[in-house]
Amino acid sequence: MLILVRHGESTGNAAGLLLGRLDAPLTDRGLAQARTLGPSMEGVTRIISSPLARARDTADALGTGLPVEIDDRWVEVDYGEFDGSPLGAVPAEVWTQWRADPDYRPPGGETLAEAGARVRSACEELFATEGEGARGPGAVVVVSHVSPIKAATCWALGLGDQGAWRLYLATASMTRISWGAAGPVLNRFNETPWSASE
């Protein structure tokens, strides 16, 4: 089982910012959200994280005692000059271009197609080394960000990169992809054991 965990709420999320590579720390609420996920980590044999602090701190807060491996392929999309902007301040034509074209590159940033390619590479590697018949039934946790987790979900469903625009993912949510004999199987998406009012 591949368990994809979106990091807990960060200061940038709480402020309503488009948050890519900026390394905003977790809020107290985000840390509490991450700790709430701990009991769901039973059977986990490996933890991988994005290099950004909000993901690494979430991985540590899960309390598994396992070493956290860093894999740069799970880092958030680089939003270029829009990174750190209030969501409402991003021009409407930019959102239109992003939604219409997975090869749209924000100035100084990364395309969704590029992000999708690196995430698919990471997923395929995990499927080959951890999947059914490879190393047994253990669960692998990857702590990442909204765009990479959406890209992994699209990979599991056989969708293109634009499928990400039709998915909503809460902070500190879990998405579960199992190792099916014929390929990945999406078991659960956007699972949140914490209360939205917390």
For the chain, give every domain's residue range.
Answer: 2-191
Reply yes or no on whether 7 is catalytic.
Answer: yes
Return d(Cα 64, Cα 45) in angstroms, integer.
9
Return d(Cα 115, Cα 109) in angstroms, integer.
11
Q: Pairing mode, if any, of strands 44-49 and 139-144?
A: parallel
Return d(Cα 110, Cα 76) in angstroms, integer.
10
Catalytic residue (choose from 9, 42, 69, 76): 76
Catalytic residue (choose from 7, 9, 110, 145): 7
What tokens does 175 get?
Answer: 């998405």
Answer CATH for 2-191 from 3.40.50.1860, 3.40.50.1240, 3.40.30.10, 3.30.300.30: 3.40.50.1240
| 198 residues of the chain, pLDDT tens digit each | 999 999 999 999 999 999 999 999 999 999 999 999 999 998 899 999 999 999 999 999 999 999 999 999 999 999 999 999 999 999 999 999 999 999 999 999 999 999 999 999 999 999 888 765 444 567 999 999 999 999 999 999 999 999 999 999 999 999 999 988 888 999 999 999 865 544
DSSP-derived secondary structure letter, 26: B
